[in-house]
């Protein structure tokens, strides 16, 4: 996969289903280039897993993306299409196979439960949430049922962006090898 001569970017949006590796890639990009990183889950999930209000969410994300250089990790439809993509140079879409992301998110969640790992604002995954059949409660179930609809949403957004000259460039990564090649080729300005 070639990323071209314009592989220097200033503002990157990293999107994809849970377990695809968004946070890992976003951290690697931000750390390597010494740019600020915003993980949208950390903003959205208040203590007790309460969601932040829509206005406060948009305000916080809006302030962050006013900066000249950044990486944003996350998919939230309430802020990503207009606020984040409106300022991004590139959208990196991690589009790994469903079986890969479900396997990854399952092992990640089990590890977090066993370690009692804090995620954001004191929140922790529980065995009950991991095993829940409700995709709003279980990230594993969400990775399974959300994979197809999210893929459709991003395919449409990528096609629309290809028709416009003023939007961000899209990079679709379909495997861990694609991610490694992208990291080798890209530089944040």
The pLDDT of residue 52: 96
| Termini Cα distance of the chain | 21
Residues 161 and 13 sit within 8 Å (Cβ to Cβ)? no
Please state which architecture CATH assigns to domain 8-188: 3-Layer(aba) Sandwich (3.40)
With a cut of 70, say whether residue 4 has pLDDT above it.
no
Over the chain, what is the mean pLDDT? 91
Q: What is the pLDDT of residues 69-91, one digit of tens each?
A: 999 999 998 788 899 999 999 99
CA-only gyration radius of the chain, Å:
16
**Has residue 187 got a pLDDT over 80?**
no
Q: How many residues does the chain have?
A: 189
How confident is the model over 145-186, as pLDDT tens digits? 999 999 999 999 999 887 777 889 999 999 999 999 998 888
Q: How confident is the model at residue 5 (pLDDT cuts 50, 70, 90)?
A: very low
Q: What is the percent of the chain where pLDDT is above 90? A: 81
Phi and psi torsions of 83, nearest 5°: -70, -50
**Domain map of the chain by residue range?**
8-188
């Amino acid at each position: 996969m070639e990323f071209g001569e314009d592989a220097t970017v200033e503002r990157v949006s990293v999107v994809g289903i849970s377990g695809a590796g968004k946070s890992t890639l976003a951290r690697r990009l931000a750390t390597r280039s010494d740019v600020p990183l915003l993980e949208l889950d950390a903003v959205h999930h208040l203590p007790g897993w309460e969601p932040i209000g829509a206005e406060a969410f948009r305000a916080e994300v809006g302030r962050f993306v006013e900066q000249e250089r950044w990486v944003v990790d996350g998919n939230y439809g309430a802020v990503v299409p207009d606020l984040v993509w409106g300022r991004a140079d590139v959208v990196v879409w991690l589009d790994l196979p469903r079986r890969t992301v479900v396997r990854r998110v399952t092992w990640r969640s089990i590890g977090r439960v066993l370690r009692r790992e804090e995620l954001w604002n004191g929140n922790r995954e529980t065995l009950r949430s991991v095993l829940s059949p409700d995709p709003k409660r279980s990230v594993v179930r969400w990775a399974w049922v959300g994979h197809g609809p999210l893929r459709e949403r991003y395919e449409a957004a990528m096609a629309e962006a290809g028709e416009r000259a003023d939007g961000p460039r899209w990079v679709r990564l379909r495997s861990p090898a694609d991610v490694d090649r992208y990291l080798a080729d890209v530089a944040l300005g």
